[in-house]
Amino acid sequence: MSGTLNKVMLIGHLGDDVKIHYFEGGNCIGRFPIATNESYTNKQTGEKVTNTDWHNIVVRNKAAEICEKYLSKGDKVYVEGRLKNRQWQAEDGTTKYTTEVHVQDFTFLSTKSDGSMVQGAQTMNSSAADVTESSQQMQASNTHSDPSDDLPF
């Protein structure tokens, strides 16, 4: 088999608010950093060590607008997507590189607007073209109590 796979799954906290940029024709792109942490105990010193990695997240169109509306710095989010490397020329003529996670699906795990973990978590497929929801609809979808809805099959 000669297939390839480029898939990233991250759970982290936003390091900044979502920044959105609109283009001609109504399309837009949203960007925000998320931090993931790894903790371990140093066996020689007994000291707890935490390493933080930062990831550049990119969402497009309706998904970007939803993220901008509901997410803010400090919120916890699950993102799933693919890695993309990008390069550009800086003003000083040097070549700059970055690695980004281009999101295909995401789930809000907490938002500052509700101050707690979101029950049932708000999940969004970023390729959904006609997603329209108000804050009330989001809250209503998160308060269901049927545990069978959470089964993966």
In a domain, 152, yes or no: no
CA 142 centroid distance within chain:
18
In a domain, 80, yes or no: yes
Supply the CATH number for residue 13's domain: 2.40.50.140
Q: Cβ distance 105 to 124 under 8 Å?
A: yes
In a domain, 148, yes or no: no
Q: How many domains, in total, are found in the chain?
A: 1
For residue 22, the one-letter residue type is Y
* Domain span holding position 107: 8-39+50-141
Could you tell me the pLDDT band of residue 110, with boundaries at 50, 70 and 90?
confident
In a domain, 103, yes or no: yes
In a domain, 24, yes or no: yes
Q: Which two tokens stand for residue 15?
A: 């390091």
Q: Is 145 helix (H, G, I), strand (E, B) or coil?
A: coil
In a domain, 2, yes or no: no
Res 143 pLDDT > 50:
no
Res 95 pLDDT > 70:
yes
CA 40 centroid distance within chain:
25
pLDDT score at 117: 42
